[in-house]
Amino acid sequence: MTKAELIDKIAMSAGISRNAANNALNATLDHITKALQKGQKVTLVGFGTFAVQNRKARTGRNPKTGEAIKISASKTPRFTAGKALKSALK
């Protein structure tokens, strides 16, 4: 499902315009992103939790040359599915 398809489904389910659904989805994603940038967790009960995971610096290999390279520490987003979402997929 693409973002446009999701917007259409939200608009139909909520009985709102496509533009209002687009604004709502964009605002939701924007606020989740801002919370993660601050290092906060976002928990949507029944759906799941968005969090930031810290990756340590490590040594990797260049696949072309086989040369060892240093990969710096980084932060990456993580999503953990909630109980209701997991049970819905069984």
* Integer angstrom CA distances of residue 53 from 36, 48, 65, 74, 81: 10, 15, 30, 8, 15
What confidence score (pLDDT) does residue 17 get? 96
Q: Output the pTM of the full model.
A: 0.80
pLDDT given at position 56: 95
The reported pLDDT for the residue numbered 51 is 97
pLDDT tens digits, 71-89:
999 999 999 999 999 999 9
Q: Mind listing the pLDDT tens digit for each residue in 21-74?
A: 999 999 999 999 999 999 999 999 999 999 999 999 999 999 999 999 999 999
